[in-house]
């Protein structure tokens, strides 16, 4: 049965995933690379704060720095990157609320209605998990296809045991796990939805190029 009321902000915690090894950045800590005057991770934290009750970070190094701009920092259990599902699981293990939102640190132009659309999808369905799909190119660029963005998600904490079993059995693919627990997709394919909102940065060159584009950073209004 679908939820009858929209999930409230107070019932959502978020975790920003910064636990990667930054191999395509020469081993740099990606979340601490600067974009428009602040680190990538801090920018994401600042955007999430008005929309959720608590913001955590999953990181495996520079923990004190990350701790300075979020509520809590949690490393992967073995202190090394095990992929985004490990970050999901760490967030679920420490989530004090009914729902967990997951966001990677390398997508600085996230749309300001991301949290709203994810919780709306969960409220309108019986699914315990919502994930994003977005168009892979701007208008006028030929055939446009929906691309999955499964690291951008919101989930009921009740999926924790299932995810733990999947990871313990060696599972690493986010989308494969999602299909096992009944996922509802949130499609960013409407007029006004910007494909650049989900552009993820992998290299320093990409980071610098995105900065030069001067695309406005979304602003999220504070809670009423």
Residues in the chain: 224
The ranges assigned to domains in the chain are 9-213
Q: CA angle 204-186-191, nearest 5°?
A: 80
pLDDT (0 to 100) of residue 186: 96
**pLDDT (tens digit, 9 = 90+) per residue, 42-92?**
999 999 999 999 999 999 999 999 999 999 999 998 756 678 999 999 999
Residue 61: name the closest of 83, 31, 33 by CA. Answer: 31
pTM of model > 0.85? yes
What is the 8-class DSSP label of residue 223? P
Question: CB burial class (10 A; 0-12, 13-18, 19+) of residue 26?
Answer: exposed
pLDDT (0 to 100) of residue 135: 85
pLDDT (0 to 100) of residue 1: 44
Average pLDDT, 10 consecutive residues per value, the chain (224 residues): 75 94 79 94 96 96 96 84 88 97 95 95 95 75 76 97 94 94 94 87 89 66 46
**pLDDT (tens digit, 9 = 90+) per residue, 30-52?**
999 999 899 999 999 999 999 99
Beta strands 38-39; 12-17: pairing state: unpaired
Residue 87: name the closest of 105, 102, 65, 70 by CA. Answer: 102
Residue 132: name the closest of 112, 146, 152 by CA. Answer: 152
C-alpha to C-alpha distances, 65 to 4, 34, 61, 210, nearest whole angstrom: 41, 13, 9, 24
CATH topology for the 9-213 domain: Spore Coat Polysaccharide Biosynthesis Protein SpsA; Chain A (3.90.550)
User: How far is 49 from 198, CA to CA, in rounded Å?
Assistant: 19
Residue 49: name the closest of 218, 217, 220 by CA. Answer: 220
pLDDT (0 to 100) of residue 224: 37
pLDDT (0 to 100) of residue 51: 94
C-alpha to C-alpha distances, 202 to 26, 42, 102, nearest whole angstrom: 10, 17, 18
pLDDT (0 to 100) of residue 25: 78
């Amino acid at each position: 049965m679908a939820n009858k009321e929209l999930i409230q902000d107070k019932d959502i915690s978020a975790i920003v995933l910064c636990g990667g090894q930054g191999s395509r950045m020469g081993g740099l800590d990606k979340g601490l690379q600067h974009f428009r005057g602040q680190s990538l991770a801090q920018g994401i934290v600042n955007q999430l704060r008005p929309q959720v009750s608590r913001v955590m970070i999953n990181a495996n190094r520079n923990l004190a720095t990350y701790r300075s701009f979020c509520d809590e920092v949690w490393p992967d259990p073995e202190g090394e990157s095990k992929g985004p599902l490990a970050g999901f699981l760490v967030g679920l293990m420490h989530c004090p609320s009914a729902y967990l939102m997951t966001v990677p640190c390398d997508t600085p132009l996230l749309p300001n209605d991301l949290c709203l659309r994810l919780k709306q999808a969960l409220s309108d369905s019986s699914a315990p998990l919502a994930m994003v799909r977005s168009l892979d190119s701007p208008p006028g660029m030929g055939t446009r296809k929906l691309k999955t963005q499964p690291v951008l998600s919101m989930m009921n904490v009740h999926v924790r045991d299932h995810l733990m079993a999947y990871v313990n059995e060696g599972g690493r693919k986010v989308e494969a796990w999602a299909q096992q627990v009944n996922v509802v997709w949130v499609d960013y394919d409407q007029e006004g939805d910007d494909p650049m909102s989900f552009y993820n940065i992998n290299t320093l060159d990409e980071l610098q190029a995105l900065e030069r584009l001067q695309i406005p950073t979304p602003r999220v209004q504070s809670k009423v």
